[in-house]
Amino acid sequence: MEGLYVRKGEAELKLPEKTIRIPIYEGSEGERGFDISALRKETGYITYDPGLVNTGACDSQITYINGEKGILRHRGYDIEDLAENCYFLEVAYLLIHGKLPSKREYNAFSDLMNRNSMIHEDMHNFFRNYPEGAHPMAVLSAMVVSLSSFYPEMENPVANEDMDMTVTRLLSKLRTIAAFSYKKSVGEPFVYPSHKYTYCENFLNMMFSSPVSDYKPDPVAVRALNLYLTIHADHEQNCSTSVVRFVGSAGSNLYASISAGICALWGPLHGGANEAVVNMIEGAIRDKLSPESLIAKAKDKASKFRLMGFGHRVYKAYDPRAKIAKRTCKKLLEKLGSSKDPIFEYAMELEDKALKDQYFVDKNLYPNVDFYTGIGYRAMGIPTSMFTVLFALGRLPGWIAQWLEMRDSKAQKIGRPRQIYTGPLKKEFVPLDKR
């Protein structure tokens, strides 16, 4: 065990054959775990935990969550403080470098970001050949893994300067790829990144400017985008981050690991939920379904329907990111002059009714980060199919920080869970002509 993890006594495990002692470790915020790494060797038993609900796969110094109290901190800083006071790039720097940047460091980081924002011209051909209507998440994942063939020298950063360059290039180029994937989906020419813009301004400009119309990034949208990206920046060992660590644990390069993480994020139970929330509400409004009827359907065990944007594996209280997303969404709609957005109104009514419903109360189901973000993106003019791409853009610094931590950990081993085999016992083999 590394870092601030300390040994805190032992537990006794009584098995039919023998009794063994299992070390207990405690993290810096008091979270305790049994170290069962020697269990099978000592006893022949494994642990069984589908969905890894109770399994700690690593120790980490990046993000702390207390799901019962609704606390989220990165490197010790509360998400509220970071979201209200930082640019997204400051938070990205914090996650990756372990400390908030000084003004000089921040300027150097932004500058490096600008200088590495273009993608190889040959990569443009890939974009051109995707079919109309290709989902931007498919394009994003494929393009990220393709970066390894265009920039092989940044695959496996070793020295600190290489790492800075790799990380900055990836952060900067993912933004360009994301905007290009949108331009491709609407059949418009690509807009190149520009040195005159900040990170979020640049993204909005690449999305919305065109050869026939000038575009000036709206400061309200820029601020909201900074906030939204910040609240997605990391969330410890969630599905996509675990995938990034897992793929990386085989020694695969950073691009391959992130590309796999993007695929995991795409699912509607994970990052794809922001898209699913807006589709769910739009469908309900179109079909004249009341919030009560959605709630009834979500409670009906015979139906597979779930209230999208509700519930969380870790949070059993209000997700602190959802609070920020809701507040930001409200401000955005007010400032952009559409405070009576029907989707936002419906979402607030749905939240209100669900939070009073006994089923949701008993199961501690609250709105999660995805419940209000899509509505905010929509207000900025970002199409639904791009919502999860925005999640990926926000999550990228977290994935990078977790991948680097995994790579540098002394406890690092290839990810390789066990199973309990429940298939047939040994059978006699029958050759093809006798079957």
Q: How far is the CB of 389 from ligand CMC (least distance, A)?
A: 14
How far apart CA 350 and CA 310 sit, in angstroms, is 11
Using rule CB under 6 A, residue 311 touches ligand CMC: yes
Using rule CB under 6 A, residue 238 touches ligand CMC: yes
Residue number with CB closer to ligand CMC (333 or 365) = 365
How far apart CA 94 and CA 232 sit, in angstroms, is 14
Using rule CB under 6 A, residue 353 touches ligand CMC: no
Stretch that binds ligand CMC, among 153-161, 303-311, 331-339, 414-422 (CB under 6 A): 303-311
Token pair belonging to 331: 């401000």
Is residue 74 annotated as part of the catalytic site, yes or no?
no
Query: Of 42-61, which residues contact ligand CMC (CB under 6 A)?
Result: 51
Please identify the residue of the shown chain whose CB is closest to the bound ligand CMC: 311
Using rule CB under 6 A, residue 350 touches ligand CMC: no
Q: How far is the CB of 360 from ligand CMC (least distance, A)?
A: 8
Answer whether 406's CB lies under 8 Å from 248's CB: yes
3-state secondary structure of 79: helix
| Terminal Cα-to-Cα distance of the chain (whole angstroms) | 54
Q: How far is the CB of 119 from ligand CMC (least distance, A)?
A: 27
Identified catalytic residue from 232, 312, 319, 341: 312
Q: Strands 63-66 and 32-34, how do they pair?
A: unpaired
Q: How many residues bind ligand CMC (CB under 6 A)?
A: 20
Hey, which residues does 67 pair with through a beta bridge? none
Query: Which position among 306, 316, 327, 407 is part of the footprint of ligand CMC (CB under 6 A)?
Result: 306
Q: How far is the CB of 163 from ligand CMC (least distance, A)?
A: 27
Stretch that binds ligand CMC, among 137-145, 148-156, 267-275, 343-351 (CB under 6 A): 267-275
Stretch that binds ligand CMC, among 123-131, 189-197, 265-273, 333-341 (CB under 6 A): 265-273
Binding mask 126-165 for ligand CMC (x = CB under 6 A): ----------------------------------------
Using rule CB under 6 A, residue 243 touches ligand CMC: no
CA torsion, ordered 84, 319, 179, 193, to nearest 10 deg: 20
Handedness of CA 412, 414, 419, 421 (dihedral sign): negative
Stretch that binds ligand CMC, among 252-260, 281-289, 363-371, 402-410 (CB under 6 A): 363-371
Query: Which position among 252, 368, 388, 402 is part of the footprint of ligand CMC (CB under 6 A)?
Result: 368
**3-state SS of the chain: helix, strand, coil percent to 5?**
55, 10, 40
Stretch that binds ligand CMC, among 42-50, 201-209, 366-374, 377-385 (CB under 6 A): 366-374
Using rule CB under 6 A, residue 273 touches ligand CMC: yes
Residue number with CB closer to ligand CMC (10 or 292) = 292
Rounded to 5°, the CA angle 127-120-204 comes to 65
Is residue 370 annotated as part of the catalytic site, yes or no?
yes
Name the strand (E) or helix (H) holding 248: helix 239-249
Using rule CB under 6 A, residue 233 touches ligand CMC: no
CB under 8 A, 24+ apart: contacts of 358-361: 359/295, 359/298, 359/299, 360/295, 360/310
3-state secondary structure of 321: helix
Answer whether 194's CB lies under 8 Å from 55's CB: no
Answer whether 395's CB lies under 8 Å from 389's CB: no
Query: Of 369-388, which residues contact ligand CMC (CB under 6 A)?
Result: 369-370
Measured CA to CA in angstroms, residue 245 lies from 68, 235, 267, 412, 415 at distances of: 26, 13, 18, 10, 8
Structure-token match 């418009």, residue found: 188
Query: Which position among 119, 308, 343, 350 is part of the footprint of ligand CMC (CB under 6 A)?
Result: 308
Q: Which residues bind ligand CMC (CB under 6 A)?
A: 51, 238, 269-271, 273, 298, 306-313, 363, 365, 368-370
Q: Catalytic residue numbers?
A: 312, 370
